[in-house]
Structure 1
Amino acid sequence: MKILTATDRTQGTADNDFTWVDEGEILTLGFVCGRDQSNPDGGCGCGRSFSGAVCHKATTTALVVDTDMTRAEVIAHVVANSSWPKSISSGMAKDMLAVAAKFDAGHVIQRRLDVYAVRELVAA
């Protein structure tokens, strides 16, 4: 199963890159605020970032990783570390899994609202 994890790879490629998530932490897609809904370069940064499932901080780069975790384990991990109701946090995990499934393991990806693109292929 493929998941998204935090990575420092390609940080700095974009002038407005940032990361406050530890390398390897499982990510979710997070929510986009009103300032960024129509412009991923808006004042907040949430329109171009992923959220750490544990630290709840943000990063603009994600590494697609093949994991031994099951779908149920990934969802349970996100739910257990969230303060959102289970219905919302499990949906966040499922949304992340759907994005991860579209890319090959080893891809570093970026987010621009609901558009996800490869920045780099990291050798496995």
Structure 2
Amino acid sequence: MKKILLSVLMLSVVFSCSKSEDKQKKMIEEVMAVHDEVMPKMDEIMTLKGQLDSISKVSSDSSKAKELYVALDSADVKMMEWMEKYNPDQVKGKSEEEVVKYYEGEKNKIVKVKELTNASIEEAKAFLKK
């Protein structure tokens, strides 16, 4: 009887650890999916910044071009800052609650970077089509 009870207890511990690891893996994948969606847009930001920089030197719309340049630059900087600070190793040995809180926070941060990136690109493209 003790052997059966011990086996069941060990299986439930292994299963709960496995379930927790699966949840953490899923959260990491969600965060990285947003990152992987935004990262390729950094090249587009650089291209648009170059175009806006050129326009700002010769156009009567130079103040708007500069404003859009700053917005694009801000999106680029925010992405670099997020990547620099993102460190999944810092949750090692933490409770499941702390791990969930960390990844939810990181997902919120990268989603904000995504929104800023998309908005600044859209505004710059609209301006450049004029």
TM normalised by structure 2 equals 0.25
Report the structure number with the largest CA radius of gyration: 2
TM normalised by structure 1 equals 0.25
Identify the structure with the greater strand proportion.
1
